[in-house]
Every structure is written in structure tokens, then in C-alpha cells.
Structure 1
Amino acid sequence: MAVFAWAAGFYWIVAVALLVVSVAATIAQPWLAARRATRRDKPPISLVLPVKLLEEGFERTQESALTQQYPVYDVTVAAVEPDSPALAAMRALLARHANAPSRILRSTARFAVSPKVDNLYAPFMQATHDTIFMKDANVLLEADALAEHVRQLTDSVGLVCAIPYCARLENFAAQVEAAIINGPHARMLFLASALGQGHGVGKIMLFRRSDFLRAGGFDAISHTVGEDNALAKAMRRIGKRPVFSHRLVRQELGKRAFRDVYQRQLRWSVVRRNDELLSFLLEPICQAIPAVMAAIVAAPLAGLAPLAAAGATFILWFVLETLLSMAKGWQLSWVAPVVFVVREALMIAVWLNAWTTDRVIWARDSVNASAGAKPAPVPHEEG
């Protein structure tokens, strides 16, 4: 039992130290990343907007891409369906903002594990400009977002992503999802960025198509549902670094259903299990419940009652994350303690479930995350 107690004590020290360091990194990252943003020219950009579902806030977030304060950019909307409520809404938006050249492409490619990659084939291959900026439909861009993110795309950088934070939380399930994304997920990404590391996070992706093709193109990302992480790996293989921008991106949640929150977190966890096994194995150390359990086992070593050690660990974790959210200006509510408890239980459930399945949900479609991809189509086949 003494061995278990010492092992639990060591785990607790590492987990709490990681919590403190990652909170500090989250505060410092924008300043550190901004120092690396040394590009000053503004190349023409092809902005790609894949659309699938018409969700609450869709018009507001998509319109933010059409009102960028940037010298030269065009907009390509990509959709699988020939017509849909989301596509109809995009047509109306494009008509209202005719200042930026725009078009709609129907993606008919069917070769990738991820339907999103299929949808991106036509706009990526037919983009007018070499520099491509892709954003998800629920991301709200500031007016100077293109100009700011492109500052990170220096000669040594192959992919620029941005760390998302959740806003416009309109029900309890949305608050739980935000507590996950703004909590452990964000802290680890901010820490990686503060240490000069980058990863693929697909809320936005900025890259050069010439680098993308040299890194293998769609054959390098079609085998996984985690196309963002696969693209980051492909860029590394050709000597181009993935980086996180100094600007965050605002992900608008609105109202969420618990089932959708669970399925979305499960999809990301399965992707990490398949593509980043070490990261997946270490995920529990970023969560409060394993640290609370370690505190219970190790408490006698410090002469503490197990329940007192557990309570102190739980309160420390909650207080530090709450103070961090306040410092970043992220949305909080009076039910934050309950949200925190539910979040911790949900994350453990998702992590355990991810060991047992390859079937995930993407945009309401069931996808086998381990299915094999077909060869990518011949360039410019789609229209």
C-alpha cells in the first residue's frame, strides 16, 4: 500500500504542476505567439467555407468571413448537397456582399474517411490563390482576422491554426461543452504553443496549397477523421512547422443537446486514440477526477484525511480554472460548480468509451474512424 500511496502522491504532484503551468501558459500565449508573427506582406487569399447544416447563428458567423478588412481575397463555398437550407442561406449572404468575388462549388468526391475532407476537395484544388484559409461554419471572425492570422505564415511555417474558445452559451449542455473546450483542451493547446509547438486544430486552417500538395495533398489526410492533425503531420514531414496563431477564434455554441456534446467529444477522443496514442493515454492527467482519486490514496503520506485532501484538490482545480476563465473574459454562470462536476464525469466517460469504438458521428452522419481511404481523385475532376 505504501508503494501505491507514493505513486499516487507523485501523480498528484505532476497533475497539479501541469494545471498551474498550463494556466500560466494560457495567460502568456498570446504575447509569446505574437512575437513570432513576423510576416508583414498580405498575399491574396482564397477563403473556403464548407457548409453542411443550418444551425443557430449560421448567418452571423458566415457573414464575418465576407466582411474582412483584407486587400485581396475571394470566397468559395463548398457543399455536398445541390441545395439545402444552409446553402440557401449562403446564397443570400453572398448576394448581400458582392464586393468579394465568390462562388459555390458542389463537392461530389467520395474517397475520404471524413465527409468533411470530401467536401474540401473541390475548393482546395480549384482555389484561385495559393494561400488558402478555411474556417468552420460556427467560427466568428473578427474583421482583421485574415490580416492577423497571415502574420504567422512565415517561410518556415506550413500550417496556421488557432485555439478556439466557446462563447454564446445558451443552455446547460453548451456550458458543459465550453467547460471542456475552454478548460483542459485549451490549456494543453496554450501550453504547447507557449513552448513553440503547434498542432492541427481545424476550426481555422491557413496554409499554402503548394506546400499542401508537396506534403502529399489529399492522400496525406484522407485516411482519418482528424484531417487537421494529419495535415500538421504532413507539413512537418516536409520541414514546415504547424503553429498556433496569437489570435484565438470564437466558436459560437448557442444551444446544445447533451447527446451531440457527448458524440462530438467522443469523435475527437477516438481521433486522438487512432492518431496520437501517447496524447490519448495521458489525457486523464489533465482532468480533476483522477487527481482527486490520487489525493485520497496519497493523503496519509501528508498526514491528511482522505476526504480533506480530495476536497482541497477539487476546490483548487475549480478555482484555478474559474480564475483563468475570468482573466480571459470567457463566459461563466452561477451554475459553474455543477458544470464542472458534470464536465469531469463526461470526460472520463468519453475517454473510457473511446477505447471500445471506431464509430463516430460527424454532422449527424455515422462514420467509421478506422475505415480505409480510397485514392484521391485526379485534380480538378470536381466542379
Structure 2
Amino acid sequence: MELTVEGLRFGAALLCVFMWCLLMFFCVVGTTLIRMRHCKVSPAAETPSSGSPPPGVTIIRPLKGVDCNMVENLSSSFLQQYPNFELIFAVADPKDPACDTVQELIEKFPHVDAKLFTGCEETGVNPKINNMLRGYNAAKHDIIWILDSNVYVNPGCMSRSVAALTLPGIGLVHHLPCGVRPLTNGSCIEQMFLNTAHAKMYVTINKLSVASCLIGKSNLFRRSDLADLGGLENYGKYLSEDNIIGEAIWAKGLRHRMTTDLAYQTLGSLSVLDYFHRRARWIRIRKYTVTAATLTEPFTESVVNGLLGALGFWKLMDIPILPFLAVHFATWITSDWLIATTLDKATRNKPASFFAGWIIRELFALPLWLFAMGGSTVEWRGRLFWLHTDGTVEPATSSFTQRCYDRFMRSFGSGFARVSSDDRHK
């Protein structure tokens, strides 16, 4: 019996050491890749030369309300250095103030083929899909670039992305999200997540190309490929349509590719509760769409991973726990500092904000995950939805459930109940 217990302890310690080494691998590889890819601005890529005109691209930008930095975000689409593209703006409500901004930009850039589509088609519960469908069905070109309203990209992004999409075996091109211009504490914490933990995992997993891993801020794919998979309307029953579409294209045998471009997201003014609300919602959604990754998420964070590593090395090699943790956290935060200052150089000027945001995010990562995993409902634009194990959702029609939820949200303050600007376009 003693041998069995000791064997289990040894196995557990070995597993802890393995997990620590694996995450250190992600830290080193992620930091190296990001430093190599994003230290310099990428030159404009040449479009494929085959004697025929370059393939056309339709950019679709779903809008709702006026996002932070909206004029610059939308202008970046008009300024793409590519000879053959159209630009479609999709707004559900014709009275939405975003329509005025779009009309002003269309007048400012008359040489660009740009149109505004209003109204939506109810194909499911996902408001982003419903919002885009009219413009998507009217698109002139096979290559579709879905670009969220709160994101801007560099002028050469389309050229590089089309060149990547036309490579053999590639079915989707996407770009690393990068948080910029945080104005509040909540925005700084959000930036810490996007520009450190998320960035290193995102880039490394995509480099290894072991599975579909993408976020729907900026994605290019062929409409003909998606038509073989049921079309865009087939994904209106999911809230995480970006993940589901990416997995479907991957399962078709087509791989994903990233360019060196960043999808810059101006974070503006988010409260700390806005950050917690958004992260909890997406963890809760992901637990049914990418279950394995979501279940292992706490082990990818510095606190849990460090404690496990310390216990494992103490058990196997008698390494003191406190010195090990000191080295662990120093290594981890150095990695995150290098990544964050590479993606957004302005971070170098605010080291105090970086370290404060980093500490808060790391300390609350596990409690936030536990809270999110404990429920099966999410709030979206003031509506409550039930999550199903197959990744689909349905509105929570019970008035009692909605009343209980509203009371719970009010008890945590209006900031927690408010949908952050990052998700208003969906």
C-alpha cells in the first residue's frame, strides 16, 4: 500500500514537472516568435502573379453603435494597398449612429467601392451573423474578410493576407489581436491578457499547427469553402461562430495561416468589472466548444503552474519551493514584458501600469475561471442565453430566470452588467 501511494505521489510530481516544462516551452517559444515576427513593420507583400488580375476581396465590417476609435478603425479598410476589393458595412438598425460615420467615410473615400447594408436576417441567435448576412450574400468576391468594427489594421494587411490565402492547402488567414491605448484600470488588465497570456499561446499553437486556434477579430476565407460547410447562416446557432467556422475549415483539410500583421484593438475605457464580465462569458462559452483547452486553462497561468512546478521539483529533486517560485515568476513576467512591449511599444512608457495589471490578472485568473465554469448561462447585449453541450445556444425564455439574473447583475453594479465595447458590434 505504501509503495502504491508513493508511486502515485511520484507520478503526480512527474506530471507537475512536465506541465511546468511545457508552459515554459510556450513562454520561450511564444516570446521568441513574437519578437521575431513583430519587432519590425512588415513590408507590403506582392499579390500572386499568374498573368491574371489579383483575386478580389470583400471586406465585411459588422457594426453596432459607435466604438472607441471608430473613424480610424474603419478608415484602415479604405486605405488598404490592394487593387481589387469592395467594402461592405453591416448595421442592423438603420437609425444606428454608426450609419452616419459610415456615410461620412464613404464620401471621404469616393474611389473605394463601399456600401452600407442595414437590417438583418434572423438565421439564429448570433446577432453578428444575423447582422452580416445581407452583406455577405451580396458580396462580389469569393474571398471574404470579416473585420470587427473595433479593430484597425495596417495598409499592407490585405496584400499579405491574400498572398497567404493563395498558398496551397490554406483555407483561412487570421491575425493576432493586439490591445492598444488603454485608458482605465480595466483596459490595462484587458491589455495584459491580450498582449501576454493570450498572445504567447495563440502564436505558439498556430506555429505548431496542431489544431484550429483563432479568434474572430480579423479572418479571411473563401465563401466557396464555407458554402460546402453549410454557408455562413449555418453558424448562427453558435455564439462562438469564429471557433466553429475555423474548426470546420480545418476539418475539411485546409489549414490556417497567420501573417505578421496585428489586429489592433483600441481598448479605451473599460471598468475592471467589464473585464471580468467579458472573460467569464467567453470562458463559459468555450467550455462547450473547445472543452479540452478550457479545462486545462488554469494550468497555463503563472500562479497554478508555478505552484505545481514548485511542488513537483521539490518532491523529485528537493529544490526549495520559495527560491523556485522566485525564479519562476521572474522568468514568467520577463517573458510577458518582452511580448507586451513588442506588440505595443507604448507599454514601455508605463511599467507601473503593466506590473499592476499583470499582478491583478494573474491573481484573479483562477477565481474567474472557477466562477465561469460553474454556470451555463451567458448575457449578451442585455439578453440571457442557455448554453448547450454541443456549443449551440438558445434564449432563456423563463421570465423567472431572467428576473433572477437581472437581480444578480444589479447586485454587482451596472458596470458588470454592461456589455463592453469589445462586443457591441456582435
Same fold at TM > 0.5 = yes
Amino acid at match of 1:191: T
Distance 1:347 1:50 in 2: 30
Kept in 2: contact 1:165–1:249 (CA 8 A):
yes
Partner of 2:248: 234
Distance 1:224 1:38 in 2: 36
- Map 1:45-56 to 2 at 5 A: 45-56=57-68
- Following superposition, the deviation at residue 303 of structure 1 comes to 3.8
Is the counterpart of residue 64 in structure 1 residue 88 in structure 2?
no
Amino acid at match of 1:86: A
- Following superposition, the deviation at residue 233 of structure 1 comes to 1.7
Partner of 2:202: 189
Kept in 2: contact 1:174–1:253 (CA 8 A):
yes
Is the counterpart of residue 334 in structure 1 residue 351 in structure 2?
yes
Larger radius of gyration: 2
Partner of 2:27: 19
Which of 322, 333, 342 is 1:307 aligned to?
A: 322
> C-alpha deviations, 1:125-172, integer Å up to 9, x for none?
111222211111111121122112111112522221111111112222
Task: Give the TM-score of the pair, scaled to structure 1.
Answer: 0.88
Distance 2:300 2:15 in 1: 17
Q: 1:67 to 1:264 in 2, by over 3 A?
A: same
- Map 1:194-209 to 2 at 5 A: 194-196=207-209, 198-209=212-223
Partner of 1:260: 274
Distance 1:236 1:337 in 2: 38
Distance 2:259 2:151 in 1: 15
Is the counterpart of residue 322 in structure 1 residue 334 in structure 2?
no
Q: Is the partner of 2:122 in helix, strand or coil?
A: coil
Amino acid at match of 1:140: Y
Distance 1:128 1:349 in 2: 47
How many residue pairs end up in the alignment? 370
- Following superposition, the deviation at residue 227 of structure 1 comes to 0.8
Partner of 1:40: 48
Distance 1:357 1:90 in 2: 39
Distance 1:199 1:99 in 2: 36
Task: Give the TM-score of the pair, scaled to structure 2.
Answer: 0.79
- Following superposition, the deviation at residue 85 of structure 1 comes to 1.6
- Map 1:56-95 to 2 at 5 A: 56-95=68-107
Distance 1:257 1:369 in 2: 26
- Following superposition, the deviation at residue 30 of structure 1 comes to 6.5
> C-alpha deviations, 1:105-131, integer Å up to 9, x for none?
123222323211111211111112222
Distance 2:340 2:85 in 1: 34
Distance 1:200 1:7 in 2: 28
- Following superposition, the deviation at residue 6 of structure 1 comes to 4.5
Kept in 1: contact 2:47–2:159 (CA 8 A):
no
Q: Is the partner of 1:43 in helix, strand or coil?
A: coil
- Following superposition, the deviation at residue 265 of structure 1 comes to 1.6
- Following superposition, the deviation at residue 176 of structure 1 comes to 0.7
Kept in 1: contact 2:385–2:394 (CA 8 A):
no
Structure 2: gaps (5+ residues): 1-5, 396-426
> C-alpha deviations, 1:329-348, integer Å up to 9, x for none?
44422222221111113322
Kept in 2: contact 1:163–1:249 (CA 8 A):
yes
Partner of 1:378: none
Distance 2:225 2:38 in 1: 26
Q: Is the partner of 1:290 in helix, strand or coil?
A: helix
